[in-house]
A and B are shown apart, each in its own frame.
Chain A
Amino acid sequence: MPSRLKLVRDNQNETLPDAGPANDAGPRPVPALMLPAAPSRAAAIARSSLAAVLPPLIGVSALILIWALVARGSDYLPGPGSTLTSAIELFSDPFYSRGPNDQGIGWNLLASLARVAKGFGMAALIGIPLGFVLGRFTKINAAFQPIVSLLRPVSPLAWLPIGLAVFQAANPAAVFTIFICSIWPMLLNTALGVASVPQDYLNVARVLRLSEWTVFTRILLPASIPYVLTGAKLALGIAWLSIVASEMLTGGVGIGFWLWDEWNNLNMEHILIAIVVIGVVGLAIEQGMNLIARRFDYRSN
């Protein structure tokens, strides 16, 4: 129990300046208090952060070790060393452009993100307001429910041919795929959020005879924002999953196409790098959405 012992000692130090204030002309309790306390506190912080970092570090190291062992006995799987060398080379010039089919990984990544942003943005513009309507009006909800239930489980890629047929071009078809797959979570979560606004709040609205618009702005909107943001987070996750696959099919510039292109080049290092990059970007998107959700959730501030 070293930490508890430290704590007792700190307390004793804290009482010292109070014990003899008559001797001192100016009370200076701060240095007396801080000096002995600071190292032990810093040590405690260091210890707790080490405890937080150590297990994931061990996990990742173990994975790399297994990878290295497997790669040693494999003809096609590159090891961590050659992948790292390849990654350093790749990221030293991420924004080169040598024709439409040979661009830096940065451009590919940005192209994918732009498609996701477009598709997701349009899905939010339509899905969230529609979700409010469905959540608020049970009759309309009943009319839409079978359509939503039927279309929601369809793989986003199944929509790609329809997108290609309608738009006659690869890029809008990919955006359309993202739009279709990210609209459902936002629509359903928003509807759920609106439908699960506590009856108490709506009773308040009824007693006050608030107009439908006031009910929307003052009660439904703030109450359902956490649900809306959860829906948006799920939608972005699915969008990021789908964009890689649809780019493999549509080609052009994009991280999914790049990955497929490297497969055709049999550059396994680059495929592994692409997987890590896709994972890191997906994680960053999720964490960013978590931050936004925390910022706008009335329960957290």
Chain B
Amino acid sequence: MTAYLEIDNVSVVFKARGKSFVAVRDVDIKVEQGEFVTIIGHSGCGKSTVLNVIAGLVEPARGGAVLAGREIDGPSPERAVVFQNHSLLPWLTAYGNVHLAVQRVFGSLESKAQLADRTHAALALVGLTHAKDKRPNEISGGMKQRVGIARALAMEPKVLLMDEPFGALDALTRANLQDALMDIQAKSRSTVVMITHDVDEAVLLSDRVVMMTNGPAATVGEVLDIDLPRPRHRLPLATDPRYHALRADILRFLHERQGHPVAA
């Protein structure tokens, strides 16, 4: 039986200055529908490369990825990406940014009013109805990232890909957005693959954590099931021994078994 999203024996080779080097090697990840999987590892270990393979932005040298029975062949709105640096178009308002995606995905099927409804609904989902007419440079980093999430969710993707979406935010804003994301995912039952280097974030949000070894030629080191019951709340978890045990597992992998990469 095959999983909903299957990354099968993927290797990626990059060419730089005439030399080629293997970024990731033999990566196997299976994600079930509605599952929240994070990929964690030291910086430079090729986490984002794996995500870009799923997004279709990077073509693997060997292996491939299959989503819902169809081989991934190039980017597509069915695999929406929330980029690390939000990647909002600065000349469009929050509404405009979301609407661009909505129009592209549903424009040929639905009326203008329906498209506007979808855009409003996506902005409401991330709590940004009040800022819909603001441009990216008029809102905070956390709000920009919310718009990015709204844009991705508005496409109703089969899988939501998040590339360190909260990495550039301060700790309080990040916590706030993590809670919002858990709420949204509980409601929408989206399948999510998220890249992070934050151990707490991985444990709090995920059903499973995929831990990657150091690059070059990084691969999957271990996979950890996070069997904490949902809904999860950060305050009770802060004193929960199971939470700490899981956290310690990941830390052990990252610091004992993988150590610090040379170029960190």
Which residues of A come within 8 Å of B, CB atoms? 198, 200-201, 203-204, 206-210, 214, 218-219, 222-223, 298-299
User: Known contacts A208-B104, A299-B137; is A203 also within 8 Å of B57 by CB?
Assistant: yes
Which residues of B come within 8 Å of A, CB atoms? 55-57, 74-77, 79-81, 83, 85, 87, 89-92, 100-101, 104-105, 135, 137, 155
- What residue in chain A is nearest B148 (Cβ atoms)? A204
Cβ A200 vs Cβ B75 within 8 A: no
Which among B80, B90, B91, B100 has the greatest number of chain A C-beta atoms within 10 A? B91
Cβ A218 vs Cβ B89 within 8 A: yes
Cβ B91 vs Cβ A207 within 8 A: no
Overall SS of chain B's interface? loop
Out of A200, A209, A218, which one reaches B76, CB within 8 Å? A209
Shortest distance from the beta carbon of B103 to any chain A beta carbon, whole Å: 9
Inter-chain CA distance A13–B105, complex, in Å, is 60
- What residue in chain B is nearest A225 (Cβ atoms)? B91
- What residue in chain B is nearest A206 (Cβ atoms)? B75
CB contacts between A and B, total, < 8 Å: 52
User: Known contacts A207-B75, A207-B77, A222-B89; is A200 also within 8 Å of B83 by CB?
Assistant: yes
Inter-chain CA distance A144–B81, complex, in Å, is 36
Cβ B75 vs Cβ A209 within 8 A: yes
Cβ B79 vs Cβ A208 within 8 A: no
User: Known contacts A208-B101, A218-B100, A299-B137; is A201 also within 8 Å of B76 by CB?
Assistant: no
Inter-chain CA distance A209–B75, complex, in Å, is 7
Overall SS of chain A's interface? helix
User: Known contacts A200-B85, A299-B137; is A207 also within 8 Å of B90 by CB?
Assistant: no
Residues of A contacting B89 in the complex (Cβ-Cβ under 8 angstroms): 201, 204, 218-219, 222-223
Residues of A contacting B77 in the complex (Cβ-Cβ under 8 angstroms): 207-209
Cβ A203 vs Cβ B104 within 8 A: no
Inter-chain CA distance A207–B83, complex, in Å, is 11
Shortest beta-carbon contacts, A-B, top 7: A298-B91, A200-B87, A222-B91, A206-B75, A208-B104, A207-B75, A207-B81
Shortest distance from the beta carbon of A178 to any chain B beta carbon, whole Å: 32
Residues of A contacting B79 in the complex (Cβ-Cβ under 8 angstroms): 207
- What residue in chain A is nearest B105 (Cβ atoms)? A208
Cβ B57 vs Cβ A206 within 8 A: yes
Inter-chain CA distance A223–B76, complex, in Å, is 23
Inter-chain CA distance A16–B137, complex, in Å, is 39
Shortest distance from the beta carbon of A209 to any chain B beta carbon, whole Å: 6
Inter-chain CA distance A206–B87, complex, in Å, is 12
Shortest distance from the beta carbon of A99 to any chain B beta carbon, whole Å: 53
User: Known contacts A208-B101, A209-B76; is A203 also within 8 Å of B91 by CB?
Assistant: no
Residues of B contacting A201 in the complex (Cβ-Cβ under 8 angstroms): 87, 89
Cβ A210 vs Cβ B75 within 8 A: no
Residues of A contacting B55 in the complex (Cβ-Cβ under 8 angstroms): 207
Shortest distance from the beta carbon of A200 to any chain B beta carbon, whole Å: 4
Inter-chain CA distance A298–B96, complex, in Å, is 14
Cβ A203 vs Cβ B90 within 8 A: no
Inter-chain CA distance A219–B87, complex, in Å, is 12
Residues of A contacting B80 in the complex (Cβ-Cβ under 8 angstroms): 207
